[in-house]
Amino acid sequence: MSKIIAKAAIRGAQKIVASAEEMLAKAIRENGREARVAYPNTAYYLPIMLLFLGQKVEKLGDLEESLQEAKKLLGSIPSDNNWLPYLGETLDSGVATLIAEEIIESLKYLSGPSPEQGIWLGFSDDSTLRMQGIKLVDGRMPGFAAIVGCCGTNAEAVKLIRELQEKSILVFMAGHSNGVSIAEQLNQSGIEMNWNSFLVPYGKEITAAIYALNFAARSAMTFGGVAPGDINAARKILMYNKERVKAFVMALGKDDDAPADQLISDEKYATAAGAINLGFPVVADTNIPEILPTGICTYEHVISGIKIDDIVNRAIELRGLKINLKKMPIPVPFGAGFEGERVRKEDMFVQFGGKYTEAFELLQLKPLDEVEDGKTEVIGPEIDEMEEGGAYPLGILVYVAGRQFQEDFESVLERRIHEFISYASGVLHMGQRSVIWIRISKDTKEAGFKMKHFGEILISKIKDEFSSIVNRVQVKIITDKSIVSELIQPAKEIYNKRDSRIGSMSDEDVEDFYSCTLCQSYAPNHVCVVTPERLGLCGAYTFIDCKASYQIDKHGPNEPVKKGRCIDPVKGQWENINSYVAVKTNGNLDFFNMYSMIDSPMTSCGCFECIVAMAPEVNGVIIVDRDYNGMTPLGIKFSTLAGQIGGGNQTPGFIGIGRLFISSAKFISAEGGHRRIVWMPKQLKEEIAERLKTTFEKQNISELFDKIATEDIAMDMEGLMEYVQKVDHPVLTMDPLF
């Protein structure tokens, strides 16, 4: 363990702790000890303090305590109870650094300037964490890189970032080298940076790196069941991140004002020591001293002197990231990092669908001999025959054949068209079926992108991801107006037929349910049991999705589970499901009830779309979704509630669910079902209105829809109690919830 590193890291930690102390003193002078300090929309207080100290920071005064803890860590020379004897003092100063950086950044939320300005995004709230977390869980993002500093030139920066985006690696950016940050280089090059493009610029100062690290800290608490303030928190989070979160720090560039023998500043060393504490190794393009495996540290902590062209591959090797390296035969970059990228009107060459023209996409199963494998035809004008700024009609027809392919899987594959097409850089794709909207940018057209490339992308991706059920794929891209008009109506009939077939399936109709253990990579004791009437709580896995996924990979995360003898038809309990769950939750759960939220409900991992929470005062339940940031009548927000029910635990009275489950006939049917719903956010209610009304009609409770309050009607329990009286809500006459 290099003396230089230890010295630099400890010196850096001392400097950061000192500036935190100064800033805190100033903030207290100006605002008093009682002033509230918090990041927006999180249930984890200041996550670093919660995790390492078990401290729930709410007021400025609390930060004085945090600071004292940081100082203690600073002073500690290696002692016997250090769990990593070889790195002890460096690591302790790393934790001190994390605490001090959390103080510094959180103070900005109190007295400004806000960390969220210009290109900088500041703190990622819990809702972002849950939404993005699932991508890390299911492999859409194989891992993340936290980049500190900048590249030699803007062009190098763009090249590096494209390489990371093509591999779908999420990129966090903080800090600068000699006044330049890679995020600024990208911004100057016109690269879009936000969560959708997998590029997250946190802040220009190195202290903003804390946002990447407190994201990781929360993900361990949200998904990994690491308990806050656990005396072994440091060790547990290191092990958790090391094994489950494939992340690394990339330190780029030199600091000219750094002490002569160390190339980068003391503060960066100190922050790196903090990152190492969280299980993230550091890869550098300069020749900073390395920390290689010694003793019980079985992997490299710092590797350095890597050429910028090799740095991504080296980091991937180091962390064992699983990357699909197949190159797409199209003239623009391709990868999940481009999925959410927009194409603005002024950058657009042509568009299809939206409110401008008719457009649709349809994937269908055909007999083997009717599918000409690998063939793409463009029927109608190619892109060179289109006018700049124009809107054209579009039909995307995909024919697949395969002996294992079932008609039910059509919709599963069809839904992926969105993702595959928008993976191409400079192509925007929104919607599905007959409500799609596609734009192709000028740059992408300029690079040689053609309509036929849609076909090539789809053929390649479908064969790649569905090789075990699809043997042949053929694509027709139709840009001829009259043919599109002719085909869109029959396509709509097919969509409708599919919906009614799937919508009419009930839990009683099937012998097997499906399991989903995808989230176990983050929440090791959680398993979703997915039935025709209850989808996975993330909202991404329906019964049919799981069934298709099992056909694709028999050893994957989804498998059929025989229901076996029914123990309780009302609460929804079956013998074999129980024994399966007992094994898959590692003995944490012996049984659960599928249709109850009070009596032994299903566990929640952390990526649920909505929470159903009991409101005993009104003898009903409220539903809140993660997009709603406001207060609920329970006096707590989604983020706080969510913080209490994740991690693979059972929390009677509260369940995490997928949005679609709200309109299911089995929705908390053990407690009386929909008639218990007293409140949900207005936007959620609007979004699910159509399905919910249909469900209510079937149960002869159509009048219930208007009796469900929203934030416009009631913001607290008193208001809600008045409202249920006023509208004569069914909860008034129902059995007590308990």
Which residues of the chain form contacts with Zn ion (CB under 5 A)? Answer: 519, 605, 607
Residue 483: phi and psi, rounded to 5, are: -70, -40
Q: Report CA dihedral (632, 635, 639, 640) to the nearest 10 degrees.
A: -150
Nearer to ligand SF4, 66 or 604 (CB): 604
Q: How far is the CB of 428 from Zn ion (least distance, A)?
A: 28
Q: How far is the CB of 529 from Zn ion (least distance, A)?
A: 13
Name the residue whose CB lies closest to ligand SF4.
Answer: 536
Q: What are the structure tokens assigned to 425, written together?
A: 């850089």
Nearer to ligand SF4, 115 or 648 (CB): 648
Among 334, 541, 550, 667, binds ligand SF4 (CB under 6 A): 541
Q: How far is the CB of 123 from Zn ion (least distance, A)?
A: 22
Q: Is the CB of residue 273 less than 8 Å from the CB of residue 94?
A: yes
537 binds ligand SF4 (CB under 6 A): yes
Omega before 47 cis (within 30°)? no
- Which amino acid is present at 320? G
Window 190-209: contact mask with ligand SF4 (x via CB under 6 A): --------------------
User: Cβ contacts of residue 312 below 8 Å, gap of 6+?
Assistant: 160, 163, 164, 167, 169
- Nearest Cα neighbor of 173 from 194, 203, 218, 207 is 203
Give the number of C-alpha atoms closer than 13 A to the C-alpha of residue 312, restricted to the C-beta side: 22
Q: Is the CB of residue 472 less than 8 Å from the CB of residue 371?
A: yes
Nearer to Zn ion, 136 or 378 (CB): 136
Three-class secondary structure of residue 597 per DSSP: coil
519 binds ligand SF4 (CB under 6 A): yes
Nearer to Zn ion, 605 or 615 (CB): 605
Q: How far is the CB of 648 from ligand SF4 (least distance, A)?
A: 10
Nearer to ligand SF4, 265 or 515 (CB): 515
> Which residue has tokens 């024919």?
399
Nearer to ligand SF4, 392 or 541 (CB): 541
660 binds ligand SF4 (CB under 6 A): no
Q: Is the CB of residue 701 less than 8 Å from the CB of residue 727?
A: no
Q: Count other C-beta atoms under 10 Å from residue 426's C-beta.
A: 22
The stretch near ligand SF4 (CB under 6 A) out of 46-54, 164-172, 429-437, 531-539 is 531-539
Q: How far is the CB of 223 from ligand SF4 (least distance, A)?
A: 10
Among 57, 518, 623, 688, binds ligand SF4 (CB under 6 A): 518
By CB neighbour count within 10 A (0-12 exposed, 13-18 middle, 19+ buried), where does 72 fall? exposed
Q: Which does 541 bind (CB under 5 to 8 A by kind): ligand SF4, Zn ion, none?
A: ligand SF4
Q: How far is the CB of 567 from ligand SF4 (least distance, A)?
A: 23
Q: Which does 680 bind (CB under 5 to 8 A by kind): Zn ion, ligand SF4, none?
A: none
Q: How far is the CB of 133 from ligand SF4 (least distance, A)?
A: 10
Three-class secondary structure of residue 413 per DSSP: helix
Nearer to ligand SF4, 143 or 393 (CB): 143
The stretch near ligand SF4 (CB under 6 A) out of 113-121, 312-320, 483-491, 513-521 is 513-521
Please state, in angstroms and rounded to a whole number, the distance separating the CA atoms of residues 427 and 440: 5
> How many residues does this entry show for the chain?
738
User: Cβ contacts of residue 514 below 8 Å, gap of 6+?
Assistant: 529, 530, 531, 543, 546, 547, 550, 558, 559, 560, 561
Q: How far is the CB of 411 from ligand SF4 (least distance, A)?
A: 17
C-alpha distances out from residue 133 to 44, 47, 124, 144, 340, Å = 16, 16, 12, 11, 16
Q: Which does 48 bind (CB under 5 to 8 A by kind): Zn ion, ligand SF4, none?
A: none
Q: How far is the CB of 551 from ligand SF4 (least distance, A)?
A: 17
Beta strand 427-430 with 394-401 is unpaired
Three-class secondary structure of residue 178 per DSSP: coil
Nearer to ligand SF4, 52 or 595 (CB): 595
Residues contacting ligand SF4: total by CB under 6 A: 12
Please state, in angstroms and rounded to a whole number, the distance separating the CA atoms of residues 77 and 92: 9
Give the number of C-alpha atoms closer than 13 A to the C-alpha of residue 214, restricted to the C-beta side: 31
Helices (H), 650-716: 682-687, 689-698, 704-707
The stretch near ligand SF4 (CB under 6 A) out of 77-85, 425-433, 498-506, 537-545 is 537-545
Q: Return the percent helix, strand and coil in the chain, to nearest 5.
A: 45, 15, 40
Q: How far is the CB of 314 from Zn ion (least distance, A)?
A: 31
Restricted to residues 136-155, the positions that interact with ligand SF4 (CB under 6 A) are 138
Q: Is the CB of residue 676 less than 8 Å from the CB of residue 620?
A: yes
Q: What are the structure tokens assigned to 101, written together?
A: 């950086």
Which H/E stretch holds residue 284? strand 282-284
Q: How far is the CB of 608 from ligand SF4 (least distance, A)?
A: 7
Q: Which does 528 bind (CB under 5 to 8 A by kind): ligand SF4, Zn ion, none?
A: ligand SF4
Q: How far is the CB of 195 from Zn ion (least distance, A)?
A: 18
536 binds ligand SF4 (CB under 6 A): yes
Nearer to ligand SF4, 49 or 518 (CB): 518
By CB neighbour count within 10 A (0-12 exposed, 13-18 middle, 19+ buried), where does 611 fall? buried
Q: How far is the CB of 629 from ligand SF4 (least distance, A)?
A: 22
- Which amino acid is present at 554? K
Q: How far is the CB of 482 from Zn ion (least distance, A)?
A: 47
548 binds ligand SF4 (CB under 6 A): no
Helices (H), 607-716: 638-645, 682-687, 689-698, 704-707
Please state, in angstroms and rounded to a whole number, the distance separating the CA atoms of residues 343 and 113: 31
Among 306, 516, 548, 670, binds ligand SF4 (CB under 6 A): 516
451 binds ligand SF4 (CB under 6 A): no
Q: Which does 536 bind (CB under 5 to 8 A by kind): ligand SF4, Zn ion, none?
A: ligand SF4
The stretch near ligand SF4 (CB under 6 A) out of 218-226, 536-544, 644-652, 720-728 is 536-544
Q: What are the structure tokens assigned to 615, written together?
A: 């409101």
Nearer to ligand SF4, 337 or 536 (CB): 536
Q: How far is the CB of 129 from ligand SF4 (least distance, A)?
A: 14
Window 575-604: contact mask with ligand SF4 (x via CB under 6 A): ------------------------------
221 binds ligand SF4 (CB under 6 A): no
Nearer to ligand SF4, 386 or 540 (CB): 540
The stretch near ligand SF4 (CB under 6 A) out of 28-36, 186-194, 453-461, 535-543 is 535-543
Q: What are the structure tokens assigned to 136, written together?
A: 């890390």
- Nearest Cα neighbor of 647 from 233, 229, 44, 224 is 224
CA 405 centroid distance within chain: 30
Nearer to ligand SF4, 237 or 528 (CB): 528
Binding residues vs ligand SF4 (CB under 6 A): 138, 516, 518-519, 528, 536-538, 540-541, 605, 607
